[in-house]
Amino acid sequence: MSEITGAVAGPARRKPEWLRVKLANGENYKRVRAIVNEHRLHTICQSGNCPNKAECWGAGSATFMILGNTCTRSCGFCNVATGRPDAEDPFEPARVSRSVELMGVKHCVITSVDRDDLPDGGANTWARTIRSVRRRCPQTKLETLIPDFKGEWHNLAIVLAERPEVLSHNVETVRRLTRKVRVQAKYDRSLEVLMRAKREGLRTKSGIMLGLGERDHEVLETMDDLRSVGCDVLTIGQYLQPSRKHLPVVEYSHPDRFRKFREEGLMRGFLFVESGPLVRSSYHAWKHANG
């Protein structure tokens, strides 16, 4: 039993009704899938096995993932492949921007794998991609869901200098569970990414998952930590185990628990709090650049 409201505990339990996902169909979904395939793009919608892919693609929106489809890190929750990445693709920024134009999206979310193998962590590809989208689609607002660049702040500065409308970086979980959930990451380093972005006057955003064994007071402490560095937007979603090789689900949180955390977040001063079982980082992202 959670401190705020009930939860379905244990990894052996079947998923509750509130975690049912819409099936992918519709003409817009097929159109977005065709564009992604034609331009040889990676999306976190596919690589991350996002439960909202049908909804977002059906609405003509997608979150692009740059710098390849193989991550140098091995986070226990993530479905993206881990290993030795391919070389950077110099044509990727142009392909992404052309696809944004074809889809006609007004708010574009871009993320990437971690590229700890590169001297700049991929920062210059990030910058070229942002500039390419802006040249081709000047009316499109950009949200960049970035890695921590191993705390090499000169690389982070390359991305911040492009001034995306929203700068997002996820802490993913509470401080106590960070080493278990994000093996190569550091909780305080993630907070510093957000702090440095806020110092540059950018709107900042972060996200956490429930269901990994966090306690309610730890979630509230995480909210306070994020607000202490000026974080503006928070997303809270249910962790879903991608495979047997990944961390097990400790509990499935009831929608009421998510609603309570949304209320707590808004009381703490977040401009937006997206909180629900199927919420992911880019869920309803177009709202977060406004207001």
Tell me if 1 is assigned to some domain: no
Residue 2 lies in a domain: no
The parent domain of residue 179 ranges over 7-14+21-289
String of DSSP letters for 240-269 = ---STTSPPP-EEE-HHHHHHHHHHHHHTT
- In whole angstroms, give the CA distance from residue 125 to residue 45: 20
Q: Which residue has the tokens 């609405």?
A: 59
> Looking at the domain assignment, is residue 256 inside a domain?
yes
Residue 57, in any domain of the structure: yes
So what's the pLDDT on residue 11? 45
pLDDT of residue 64: 87
Is residue 141 domain-resident? yes
pLDDT tens across 134-178, in order?
Answer: 999 999 999 999 999 999 999 999 999 999 999 999 999 999 999
Residue 6's pLDDT is 47
Low-confidence spans in the chain with pLDDT less than 70? 1-13, 21-62, 286, 291
Name the DSSP class of 161: T
Q: What is the CATH number of the domain that holds 243?
A: 3.20.20.70
Q: pTM of the prediction?
A: 0.86
Residues 6+ away with beta carbon under 8 Å from 30: none
Burial annotation 71-101 (CB, 10 A radius, 16+ → b, else e): bbbebbbbbbeeeebeebeeebbbbbbbbbe
Give me the number of domains the chain comprises.
1
